[in-house]
């Protein structure tokens, strides 16, 4: 398959590398990041998209997606698929889908879960919104870049699934960190806390798989001085997207709202930027009730 890949940073670069390794022809564009070995460099997003069967984008925001889409849609051949793997607001995903469809293109929003390690290993999870035909076209590429693909529904459904999932993740990580900090003050050993909670009704991915307490449970960023597997500022981005969507949909999400507020304080005022999102634990350790 001939693929245009736009956005070759920490996530897009290894994803494109895996497509090249699988034998696909990849033309890549990024204004800053290097082009993966084996891919053909393009001088613009439009050049990368020209003649491609599938154009994949991995971009930082909905505003940038809208700008890039305006450039690549006119350059793409009718019937080609525009597949956006960025995590952006649902409105941006649906706007781009409308623009692409009006130009005779197929379109998917397909945000991912799994982080940079999953991108490198080809073990990402894709949450996909769009038509059945577009999904069937791109599924062989998803299978190369990831280990699980879920077709969530129409355009925008992939983004909806991603932000709902990450709202749960942000809330449960905060609750897990709070509980460890409370256990410390109550004199409960962290390993005993983990043994109980990980096999009881308080179990969660944040506790069982990505434990924020160093030396407890499977290896996680807490065992590496909280160097990010999933940075706190990226969690904040996703929580803000969830609250933007909740406001637009008139949904009551008080826990999501509180999580967004706590991560805002952590990232912007308490040195959390550049740390893993599980570094909320040392943050709570230092704080008292007041």
Judged against a pLDDT cut of 80, whether residue 64 lies above it is answered with: yes
Of 269, 211, 259, nearest in space to 236 by CA: 259
Cα pseudo-dihedral 97, 100, 103, 104, rounded to 10: -80
How far apart are the C-alpha atoms of 262 and 116, rounded to whole Å? 24
Would you place residue 115 in the very low, low, confident or very high pLDDT band (cuts 50, 70, 90)?
confident
Q: Are 184 and 285 in contact (CB under 8 A)?
A: yes
5-57 pLDDT, tens digit per residue, is 999 999 999 999 999 999 999 999 999 999 999 999 999 999 999 999 999 99
Q: For tokens 């597997």, name the residue.
A: 229
The secondary structure of 249-270 as a DSSP string is: HT---HHHHHHHHHHHHHHHHS
Please say whether the beta carbons of 193 and 183 come within 8 A. yes
| For range 73-99, the mean pLDDT | 96
Range 49-74 average pLDDT: 97
Q: Cα 103 from chain centroid?
A: 28
Query: Could you tell me what percent of the chain has a pLDDT over 70?
Result: 100
Residues known to be catalytic: 162
Average pLDDT, the chain: 96
Residue 290 has pLDDT above 90, yes or no: no
Q: Is the pLDDT of residue 103 over 90?
A: yes
Residue 116 confidence (pLDDT): 85
Cβ neighbours for 196, distance < 8 A, ≥ 6 positions apart = none
Cβ-contact 205, 169 below 8 angstroms: yes
CA distance 259 to 235: 10
Global confidence as pTM = 0.90
- Strands of 134-289, DSSP E: 146-153
CB atoms < 10 A from the CB of 247, how many?
A: 11
Which of 18, 1, 260 is closest to 117 using CA atoms?
Answer: 18
DSSP letter at 231 equals B
Q: How far apart are CA 15 and CA 141, in angstroms?
A: 10
Over residues 204-256, the pLDDT tens digits come to: 999 999 999 999 999 999 999 999 989 999 999 999 999 999 999 999 999 99
Say if residues 52 and 4 touch (Cβ distance below 8 Å): yes
pLDDT at 16: 98
CA geometry: angle 176, 180, 184, nearest 5 deg: 170
Query: How far apart are the C-alpha atoms of 214 and 207, rounded to whole Å?
Result: 12
Q: Residue 92: phi, psi to the nearest 5?
A: -65, -40
Can you give the pLDDT at residue 100?
97
Alpha-carbon distance of 47 to 35, in angstroms, equals: 14
């Amino acid at each position: 398959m001939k693929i245009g890949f736009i956005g070759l940073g920490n996530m897009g670069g290894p994803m494109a590398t895996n497509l090249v390794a699988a034998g696909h022809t990849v033309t890549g564009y990024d204004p800053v990041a290097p082009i993966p070995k084996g891919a053909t460099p393009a001088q613009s997003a439009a050049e990368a998209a020209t003649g491609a069967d599938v154009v994949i984008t991995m971009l930082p925001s909905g505003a940038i997606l809208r700008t890039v889409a305006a450039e690549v849609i006119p350059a793409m051949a009718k019937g080609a698929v525009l597949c956006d793997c960025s995590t952006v607001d649902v409105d941006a995903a649906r706007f781009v889908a409308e623009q692409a469809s009006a130009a005779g293109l197929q379109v998917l929003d397909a945000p991912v879960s799994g982080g940079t390690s999953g991108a490198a290993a080809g073990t990402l999870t894709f949450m996909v919104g769009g038509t059945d035909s577009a999904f069937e076209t791109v599924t062989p590429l998803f299978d190369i870049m990831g280990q699980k693909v879920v077709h969530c529904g129409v355009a925008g459904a992939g983004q909806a699934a991603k932000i709902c999932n990450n709202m749960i993740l942000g809330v449960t990580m905060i609750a897990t960190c709070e509980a460890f900090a409370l256990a410390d003050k109550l004199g409960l050993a962290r390993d005993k806390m983990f043994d109980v909670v990980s096999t009881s009704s308080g179990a969660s991915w944040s506790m069982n798989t990505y434990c924020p307490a160093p030396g407890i449970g499977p290896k996680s960023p807490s065992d590496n001085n909280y160097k990010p597997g999933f940075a706190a500022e990226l969690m904040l981005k996703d929580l803000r997207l969830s609250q933007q969507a909740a406001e637009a949909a008139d949904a009551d999400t008080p826990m999501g709202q509180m999580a967004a507020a706590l991560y805002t304080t952590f990232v912007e005022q308490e040195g959390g930027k550049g740390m893993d999102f599980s570094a909320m634990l040392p943050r709570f350790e230092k704080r008292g009730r007041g």
